[in-house]
Structure 1
Amino acid sequence: MSLDMPETPFIAVDLEILQANISRAAESARQRGYALRPHVKTHKIIEIARMQHAAGVLGITVATIGEAEIFVDAGFTDVFIAYPVWLTPRKAQRLDSLLDRATIRMGIDSVESGQQMKELLGGRAPLIEFMIEVDCGHHRSGIAPEGVTELVSGLLELGLTISGAFTFPGHSYGPGALSPAAQDEARALEQAKSHLEAAGLCENLILSGGSTPSLASADVHVITEQRPGVYVFNDAQQLELGSCDWDHVALTVRATVVSIRGNRVIVDAGGKALAADRAGYATGYGRVLGNPEARIVALSEHHATIEFPKGQVPTRGDVLSVIPNHVCNTVNLADQVYVFDRGELVDTWKVAARGRNS
């Protein structure tokens, strides 16, 4: 059955590159001796998670109970909610409904959260395997590694199950920061491990790290699993950080040139199609596949202004492949993606966990 080409803007996924990205990361994990537990918040797509599973990953990582519900319903039975969830009575009911169908791990960084879990889940709370979140330098959620002993003591007194520690080296998103952030990650997890072992938790400890930029620099002598997400698609941020090559970009937004002024053109994919992310180090709001010198210099809701080198300006009606800065947010704006194999439209995939933010 032939598929009709959609109107722009739309998300296009290159199946061959996607498969290669998944295979390359899985093989690297096998060779280096750590487990891969990819973060599916990047793609939110069941078909891609199944491809990752087939490549030999350990399980999946999600950010919310809502994402966990979608993937458990689809048959995934090993799920890590890598977030310090604060339970409400309704969230507790939703979480409880998952516990008989999947192994659920959750992030935690306070005794107060543990008390809330115990109060709302009662005797079901010990079925969750909690992972202590430590801050390795990103300074978001998580505790300092030296606080692990006190936290573990409080959680064990509540009768909760602790399976290890995790961290997120988000400060790897910066020029020259990839290797230092990986070193910070290893140092924090090594410290957390020593505190966990001192508390008597020595068997099969999980030490979980990971971001796509720091993946290649991870200290596999410390870390037992990694949780990259963006690697399946890659994006303009990864290009600028040097953590991927142009031929590793599997997702673009197809956009039509609608207006031209000099060497600046307007395409019909604005912030509502691309997402409006621009990190401080980024040289624009996105890039153009096939033209490394082009930059998106301005972005509004339905307009992207792209500046091209002289002599390389496209014409009205041309369809460009635009690489978004932050692919996770781009995918979350779409109901579905269009899958291409060697240039031919072969499938559509639903963004099944779109908007599942709680």
Structure 2
Amino acid sequence: MAPATPFLAIDLERMQANIARAADAANARGIALRPHAKTHKSIEIGRMQVAAGAHGLTVATVGEAEVFAAAGLDDLFIAYPLWLDPEKAARLSTLAARGAAISIGVDSVDGVERLVHAGLAGRISVRVEVDAGHHRSGCGPASAGVVAAAAMRAGVDVEGVFAFPGHAYAPQAGEQAARDEAAALTIAVESMRTAGISPQVISGGSTPSFSASLDVPSPVTELRPGVTIFGDAQQWELGSIEPGDIALSCHATVVSHAGGRVVLDAGSKVLGPDRAPWATGHGRLLDHPEARIVQLSEHHAIVELHADAALPPLGSVIRVVPNHVCIAVNMVDELLVYDRDGDAEPSARWSVAARGRNH
């Protein structure tokens, strides 16, 4: 019996090809991969990435780190400047005591002092975050040495430096974001070396800048793409992935032809609500590339097809590509796995093990 819609489905053949493609591209340039597991939040997928050569995983929160470490995927980088309250500090201490190799982001001397006060010096490592143009978090690249030196004086192991070129999430912005990242990291590395610290890891990367970060002159030794494993409608529109390589879609049923349009039984509570200002819709249809989701409510999506296209029959199942796959995955309890495109039944169901672990 076919699963009830809506649900998120993985095309295993495509996903494995995406994993191999990213690994091969990085290996060819001598760059390590530490993929961001917040995209999939799945133990099975994390294991596949490590088996393909990933140097551990990147995670977003202490909670995600706990889930993956419990499954033996315990070489983990929490890629944000954490502000350690007693509860988070205790949880990190427990992870370290169990043998996990944990590094976290810092972007200020105050953050370093907070870590020391929590008793984590010598137990976890840090990477200094620098702002590469996204203007979210990160110190100025020239200040990286100051933050790193404060950590070293306090007995904290400084693993290296990192940046997130998040401003690559705009049309034709990937190459410039990669160049901005390279420039920021070059300054940061020099700042750290001037302070007498040689970074062992120089980390960067985002999905839309991934290819450019492999090609532009840069000091990076590690990249942390996330969405390369699945693709989504954002990456499709940005040109970071071809539709034939998209490995995750939402299977939704056509429930109405009201107004001469297609109404699906999948809304924001499974697709996610994200829509970038430059996006042409709330999602796209894998088998109807010209179509766009023009209206999204909690449990329904309205699709407009090309004027000459026939409406898919009522009751038929459509493959929807969410705008932001990371959000969509966090909306569901499990991912249904199909061995290859066209299979009628899933071969497995994988738990979204780190779903909701937002702190």
TM-score (norm 2): 0.96
1:152-188 Cα deviation digits (max 9, x unpaired): 2322332221111000000000011010000001001
Correspondence 1:13 to 2:14: no
- The CA RMSD measured in Å over matched residues stands at 1.1
Q: Does the 8 Å CA contact 1:132/1:148 hold for their aligned counterparts?
A: yes
**Equivalent residue number for residue 265 of structure 1:** 262
- Aligned mates of 1:221, 1:108 — CA distance in 2: 22
Correspondence 1:345 to 2:311: no
The alpha carbon displacement at 1:102 in A equals 1.3
Residue 209 of structure 2 aligns with an amino acid whose one-letter code is: S
The alpha carbon displacement at 1:128 in A equals 1.4
- Aligned mates of 2:170, 2:254 — CA distance in 1: 31
1:118-148 Cα deviation digits (max 9, x unpaired): 1112xx4222111000000000011111222
Candidates 170, 179, 185, aligned match of 2:181? 185
Residue 105 of structure 1 aligns with an amino acid whose one-letter code is: S
Candidates 157, 161, 166, aligned match of 1:165? 161
Correspondence 1:105 to 2:100: no
**Equivalent residue number for residue 73 of structure 2:** 76
**Equivalent residue number for residue 290 of structure 1:** 287
Secondary structure of the structure 2 residue equivalent to 1:182 = helix
**Equivalent residue number for residue 228 of structure 1:** 225
Residue 348 of structure 2 aligns with an amino acid whose one-letter code is: D
**Equivalent residue number for residue 175 of structure 1:** 171
Quickly say closer, same or farther: Cα 1:262–1:256, change in 2 above 3 A: same
Correspondence 1:246 to 2:243: yes
The alpha carbon displacement at 1:29 in A equals 0.8
Correspondence 1:356 to 2:357: yes
**Equivalent residue number for residue 61 of structure 2:** 64
**How many residue pairs get matched?**
352
Residue 196 of structure 1 aligns with an amino acid whose one-letter code is: M
Candidates 92, 98, 101, aligned match of 1:95? 92
Residue 228 of structure 1 aligns with an amino acid whose one-letter code is: P
Structure 1: unaligned runs, 5 residues or longer: none
- Aligned mates of 1:263, 1:12 — CA distance in 2: 28
1:18-75 Cα deviation digits (max 9, x unpaired): 1000011011111011000000000000000011111111110001000000000000
Residue 217 of structure 1 aligns with an amino acid whose one-letter code is: A
Q: Does the 8 Å CA contact 2:7/2:250 hold for their aligned counterparts?
A: yes
Q: Does the 8 Å CA contact 1:33/1:220 hold for their aligned counterparts?
A: no
In terms of mean alpha carbon deviation, does 99-108 or 270-279 score higher? 99-108
**Equivalent residue number for residue 214 of structure 1:** 209
Structure 2: unaligned runs, 5 residues or longer: none
Residue 103 of structure 1 aligns with an amino acid whose one-letter code is: A
Secondary structure of the structure 2 residue equivalent to 1:126 = coil
Correspondence 1:127 to 2:128: no
The alpha carbon displacement at 1:6 in A equals 1.6
Residue 355 of structure 1 aligns with an amino acid whose one-letter code is: G
1:212-253 Cα deviation digits (max 9, x unpaired): 110100136410000000011000000000010011100000
The alpha carbon displacement at 1:313 in A equals 1.6
- Aligned mates of 1:50, 1:28 — CA distance in 2: 19
- Aligned mates of 1:52, 1:15 — CA distance in 2: 13
Secondary structure of the structure 1 residue equivalent to 2:294 = strand
Could you tell me the percent identity over the aligned residues? 52
Residue 249 of structure 1 aligns with an amino acid whose one-letter code is: I
Secondary structure of the structure 2 residue equivalent to 1:137 = coil
Candidates 325, 332, 335, aligned match of 2:333? 335
Residue 114 of structure 1 aligns with an amino acid whose one-letter code is: V
